[in-house]
Structure 1
Amino acid sequence: MNILYITKLTGNMWAGPNNSVPAQIAAQSKYDNVFWYNINKVAKEGWSERKYYNNLKDFPSKRIKDLPTPFNNPDIVIFEGVYEYPFNSLIYEVWKRKIPYIIVPRSALTEKAQKSSVFKKKIGNFLFFERFVKKATAIHYLTKREWLESKIKWPTNYFIIPNGIDDRGPIQKNNEINKLKGIYIGRIELYQKGLNVLIQACSEVKEDLRRANCTIELYGPDRDESKLKLLNIIQENDIEDLVFVKDSIFKEEKEKVQLNADFFIMTSRFEGHPMGLIEALSFGLPALVTEGTNMREEIVSANAGWGADMNSYSIASALKEIVEENSMIREKGSNGKLLSLNYNWDKLAETTREAYRKLINLDVKI
């Protein structure tokens, strides 16, 4: 099967798709003939070394017919994202040539995401993007919750296959817990990531956190000057000794931080399927998550962490539960590690291959 992936990735490794999309394509390349066309001029280390990676410098025309054979006439096209205006000419070409295509919206079609930049999206949907979604062969959602939050407005053919991770192997963590360290790794963004609500929750249980010698570290790049706002909220709530906002971390430094932490926190209002959360579980970190992460039910069912509603009272209750049952943290972390094994990229690529073949009625094995 010849698969053409079309993306507009910047290479900024703090944006989830810049991690998950290359990993997804790499896994799929083990089973199918793939071509990655990034509508950007990014020559990122690790991407450009892949024979199937191409960007706007390689093929500036933005026309599928100008790509090399057989990808100038692919079996299927995968659009990674929805509201990417550089896709438009390619979409018109796909329509004209009646090439089957799939959209991976990564939460862009959920009700909450639609309320962000609502005026722009309403106009964009009316003029173009509603047709783009409705004409798709299928929508590839990453979680059942993402589908549930999207299906009312976008009642289209769909399938659900999550993001994945590579198998990390055994993790060795210190069995003694004298102090507790919680971490968040992601964008420093108040609204989507719910960090303002997290800080309020920490304030509500600050004495419990102090008694347990528990601190929380937030790692990530700034988004819309959220970092300064967050620091001000921390100061106003008198928890500067409990919550620390830090810079971005990558590779070995990121791995070290996760190995030295005791639990992970993600209080998002909405997500697609957060790779950062799956990765944390693979490091043996139990997780405190809200419904918006799309993994609350799985984590609670697997006894791999704590679930909370999207309000400070519920998150504060979960934090209090963590410090009161810190003897259970390693057990929950082990359960998280087991849960993460469900998200192996190679296994998911096999499932994805079968989904694509079924959609385009390709029954003959290649």
Structure 2
Amino acid sequence: MIRVLLVDDSEVTLMVLQSIIEKEPDISVIGRAKNGREAIALASRWAPDIITMDINMPDLDGFVTTRKIMENTPTPIIIVSGIDNLEEIRASFRAVEAGALGVFRKPPGYDDPEFRSASFELISAIRTFSEVKVIRRRSSRNNGNLNEPEKITVPFRISQDIRVVLIGASTGGPQAVQEILQNMKPDFSLPMVLVQHMSPGFIEGLGLWLKESTGFQTKIAEEGETIVPGVLYIAPDGKHTGITSDLSIEFSNAEPEHNLRPSVSYLFRSAAKNLGSKSLGVLLTGMGSDGAEELLQIRQKGGCTIIQDRESSFVYGMPGAADARHAGMFSLPPKQIAEFLYSLSLRSL
């Protein structure tokens, strides 16, 4: 039985969430909190398997509450947020930075056509994320540069004509992408395209959060635009996103792959087909196997491939599936991925 603590200052929302969960035979609600202080106390007292966390609450908001729980009683937390308020979405990603595992939309009213899909998404997230082993987050006052990874340089056998970096990520991806961008120097000279598995309605907020927290230029990809160096292009909701031989973005409404659209598989396959040895694929933390086979295609076409290492991955599903296929030429934590990409960009000038 998965034991859930619900946190929201709205009694109506708590009732809706509880009614959704109580229909599932393997999930139970063990408590409800209407503010951050209650949530911290109940998390310590009852040790739930997972917490659903609101963002806008009196006294302690969801960001501060998440940070305090992760510092004291580490527990899987998913943010359940509205998608109509951009400020709330941005705050949700700050909670991800503090240790929350993902951001999901609040189910709307029972009569809303999106109620069923949002409810299914929430239940799937509870089942998935309750199994993630989280670690204690040190207070920022105590953070130090412990266990710094060794510096890495790019082997000269790697093509000097890499023209684009393709990144795929799922569970834990926002944090990994953030760390990569934070360690990227301003003169990084390659364009990047990202497919991040994300609940509908949050992609714009993800882009803003990454830009504000790292200083790196980000934008939501647009069909037909030519990508330029030093920008991270993020695939929009509901569109498979690929790259053409002339470095333009192309969209597709083809059937979902791995039950996902956009899928990492589509992006990587387009790069292997259209750019071959001129592409570099990076597969980050995440559930499932999206992108694993297609990362191998990039390698087979002479491109460069990187997977996130097991130790730094929230979930080693996607990179692990690629590793099992021998698709990754290098297995690195995010900071070393950034150093690798930057070194490569200097050689590609």
For the superposition of Structure 1 and Structure 2, which TM-score range results when normalised by the shorter chain?
A: 0.3 to 0.5
Asked which structure has the greater CA Rg, the reply is 1
User: Which of the two has greater helix per residue?
Assistant: 1
